[in-house]
Chains A and B, each alone.
Chain A
């Protein structure tokens, strides 16, 4: 197997020769392990060209669920981690996989659901009450179920609501095991409720019968943080370039770029590095 792959690598080296490859003298490209919400909203396409233009450092984004992004980064398969699950990020740093964690920006989660709102979520006073209404009505709810930042936030909200959906066989609670956009596609197809970050929602093109049915509770706050993967742990990490990216993102120019980014004409990320 290994031999085969080494052979493949050798042969395909020639085929890949025409592809962009970093030159030793130039700044090396960095790989950012991030989440589907940042990618699907178009944020990276919006701000990365500016960074690359200013510094000459190309940025490659791998967009997966927060859980997988953290695991990939722990394996050293990335130089920078940009996700939204603060406790997990702190644990990542604690375990020595990353250096310092910094806040970058925030947005919020919203509950979306069918416009007729059969579960009466619109009348809820807070987020836990909204979820309780869904559970009591047994209205279909599409969960990411993929250990992503949004999934973790959703689980925390269910816990606050005193519910444990998914434990027993509850037909109304559907775990998609997929990214935010894919989950919204499924929710639109089943006329289900779902928790989504606002950025993905605004940029999402297949809303169908779905509308925002609940928003604004401080419990729905969604903080993004950035961490440099520990170069002592993984000597391959492009620490210098990665740090430059973090400094830019949390510095005035990056923060301004985030604030200026619009999805469907709306601001969806709010810089709060501090």
Chain B
């Protein structure tokens, strides 16, 4: 290991502090015994207990979880299919337009995505509720899945699929038996990414949500406008934990798959 210079240590500390100090404060205060958010009165897990009796929060949490699971699953299926077409179909007419259109939502301001979805839902007369939130989240997270999966597919040896066809597979069987198991880590990483994106989205959800269903971020946001409560700190801490676990798992999966692939390729070179 190389030793870090003073300059590097300082920049690293500043950068990390800038990123994580607010969250650390939040996590610490979630364990505060006092009702007053800014006064420390000793360690307690009482707010986590209270949370369990807050019906409104529990409902919102349940909605959020359902939305995240369903929308990330749909986004994974759609995103994987889109990535497969983009990487595999070669140069078909309108390919550049298609790929541009898939990746555009990545850079589109969320307010605009949200607004246009809202207009669409009103236009087709769809009542806003859990279903519209799911649709909206599927829409914006599928492009993230497609980016993750297509970066894996680019390095996938086409001959493997041809070998499967050669041995009697239909194209669909070749995908199911050969391609999918090999790209599975990327697909799972894409799912986790979509899951965490859906979990903490506020902007798009607030456009798509209706009176019948709200998500946790919306609930927190509106509660905070009436004043920060320690209960919200506790709730936010739980969300930070879930998102962190999701992101770390996704990156570990991608990294481990890459390491293993490297090892396999090196083994092939040595032979």
Q: Do A and B bind each other?
A: no
A residues with CB within 8 A of B: none
